[in-house]
Amino acid sequence: MNPISHRAMRAWVGLGPRFLPFADAASAEVPLSRLLRLSLVHVSVGMSLVLMVGTLNRVMIVELGISAALVSTMIALPVLFAPLRAYIGQSSDTHVSVLGWKRVPFLFNGSMVQFGGLSIMPFALLVLSGGGASHAYPHWVGQAAAALSFLLVGAGIHITQTVGLALATDLTSDDRRPKVVGLMYVSLLAGSIASALVFGHLLEDFTPGRLIQVIQGTAVLTLVLNGIALWKQEGLKRMTPAELDAPRPRFGDSITLYMQDGAALRRLVAVGLGTMAFGMQDVLLEPYGGEILGLAVADTTKLTAALAAGGLIGFGTASHLLSRGADAYVMAGRGALVGSLGLALVIAASPVGSTTLFAMGVILVGLGGGLFGHGTLTAAMNGAPEGQVGLALGAWGATQATAAGIGIALGGVMRDLAVTAGAAEQFGPAFGYMTVYITEIILLLATFAVMSSLLRPKGAQGMAG
Amino acid sequence: MDSLDDPNRVWPTGLTIKESEALHKHVIDGARIFFAISLFAHLLAYMYSPWLK
Give the Cα separation of A68 and A66 in Å (integer).
Answer: 6
Q: What is the DSSP letter of A388?
A: -
| Cβ neighbour number for residue A358 with a 10 Å cutoff | 25
Nearest to A101 by CA among B33, B46, B39, B26: B26
pLDDT of residue A217: 96
pLDDT at A463 over 60: no
Q: Show the domain range for B31.
A: 17-48
- In this structure, are residues A57 and A125 in contact, taking their beta carbons and an 8 Å threshold? no
Give the Cα separation of A456 and A205 in Å (integer).
Answer: 57
Q: Is residue B1 part of a domain?
A: no
Range A131-134, long-range pairs (CB < 8 A, 24+ positions): A131/A64, A131/A208, A131/B48, A132/A208, A132/B47, A132/B48, A132/B49, A133/B47, A133/B48, A133/B49, A133/B50, A134/B47, A134/B48
pLDDT at A465 over 70: no
Quick: pLDDT tens for A280-315.
887 788 888 888 888 887 777 778 788 888 998 999
At CA A162, angle to CA A160 and CA A163, rounded to 5? Answer: 65
Minimum-distance CB partner of B37 among A120, A145, A238? A120
Using the Cβ of B24 and the Cβ atoms of chain A, whether some distance falls under 8 Å is answered with yes
Q: Are B10 and A14 a contacting pair at CB < 8 A?
A: yes
User: Based on C-alpha coordinates, what's the Rg of chain A?
Assistant: 23
Q: Closest chain A residue to B21 measured between Cα atoms?
A: A9
The residue-averaged pLDDT of A408-427 equals 76
Quick: pLDDT tens for A240-280.
788 888 888 889 989 888 888 878 899 999 999 999 999 88
ipTM of the complex: 0.88
Quick: pLDDT tens for A190-208.
898 889 889 888 988 889 9
Q: Are B17 and A13 a contacting pair at CB < 8 A?
A: yes
Task: Count interface pairs A-B at CB distance under 8 A.
Answer: 95
A317 Cβ contact list (under 8 Å, min separation 6)? A367, A370, A371
pLDDT at A147 over 70: yes
State which amino acid sits at residue A445: L
Q: Is residue B27 part of a domain?
A: yes
Q: Are B38 and A98 a contacting pair at CB < 8 A?
A: no
Q: What is the DSSP letter of A385?
A: P
**Dihedral sign (CA A38, A42, A45, A47):** negative
Q: Closest chain B residue to A97 measured between Cα atoms?
A: B22
pLDDT of residue A377: 92
Residue numbers of chain B with a pLDDT score lower than 70: 1-5, 52-53
- In this structure, are residues A226 and A41 in contact, taking their beta carbons and an 8 Å threshold? yes
Alpha helices in A59-176 (DSSP H): 68-81, 85-93, 104-128, 139-171
Quick: pLDDT tens for A70-82.
888 888 888 888 9
Of residues A326 and A157, more confidently modeled: A157
The shortest C-alpha distance from B53 to chain A (Å) reads 12
Q: Is residue B11 part of a domain?
A: no
pLDDT of residue A460: 43
The residue-averaged pLDDT of A354-372 equals 92
Q: Is residue B24 part of a domain?
A: yes
Length of chain A: 465
A141 to chain B: which residues are within 8 Å by CB?
Answer: 47
Using the Cβ of B6 and the Cβ atoms of chain A, whether some distance falls under 8 Å is answered with no
The residue-averaged pLDDT of A82-103 equals 90
The shortest C-alpha distance from B43 to chain A (Å) reads 9
Question: Residue B16 in 3-state DSSP?
Answer: strand
Using the Cβ of B23 and the Cβ atoms of chain A, whether some distance falls under 8 Å is answered with yes
Quick: pLDDT tens for A99-137.
888 899 999 999 999 999 999 999 999 999 998 899 999
A12 to chain B: which residues are within 8 Å by CB?
Answer: 13, 15, 20, 23-24
Give the Cα separation of A397 and A380 in Å (integer).
Answer: 10
Mean per-residue pLDDT of chain A: 86
- In this structure, are residues A432 and A415 in contact, taking their beta carbons and an 8 Å threshold? yes
How many domains, in total, are found in chain B? 1
Using the Cβ of B50 and the Cβ atoms of chain A, whether some distance falls under 8 Å is answered with yes
Q: Are A127 and B47 a contacting pair at CB < 8 A?
A: yes
pLDDT of residue B4: 62
- In this structure, are residues A396 and A380 in contact, taking their beta carbons and an 8 Å threshold? yes
A236 Cβ contact list (under 8 Å, min separation 6)? A22, A23, A99, A100, B19
The shortest C-alpha distance from B32 to chain A (Å) reads 10
Q: Is residue B8 part of a domain?
A: no
Using the Cβ of B3 and the Cβ atoms of chain A, whether some distance falls under 8 Å is answered with no
pLDDT at A457 over 60: no
> Strand pairing partners for A16?
none
| Cβ neighbour number for residue A382 with a 10 Å cutoff | 17
Distances (CA, A) of A207 to A9, A130, A212, A213: 44, 15, 9, 10
| Cβ neighbour number for residue A239 with a 10 Å cutoff | 16
Q: Is residue B6 part of a domain?
A: no
Length of chain B: 53
Residue A26: pLDDT band with limits 50, 70, 90: very low
Domains and CATH numbers, chain A: 29-245 (1.20.1250.20), 260-455 (1.20.1250.20)
Residue A154: pLDDT band with limits 50, 70, 90: very high
Q: Is residue B4 part of a domain?
A: no
State how far Cα A229 lies from the chain centre. Answer: 18
Please list, residue by residue across A9-45, b when 16 or more beta carbons sit within 10 angstroms of its beta carbon and e when fewer do: beebbeeeeeebbbbeeeeeebeeebbebbbbbbbbb
The shortest C-alpha distance from B15 to chain A (Å) reads 6
- In this structure, are residues A88 and A389 in contact, taking their beta carbons and an 8 Å threshold? no
The shortest C-alpha distance from B47 to chain A (Å) reads 5
What string of DSSP letters covers A214-256? HHHHHHHHHHHHHHHHHTT-SB--PPPHHHHHSPPPPHHHHHH
Give the Cα separation of A134 and B44 in Å (integer).
Answer: 9
Give the Cα separation of A324 and A63 in Å (integer).
Answer: 50
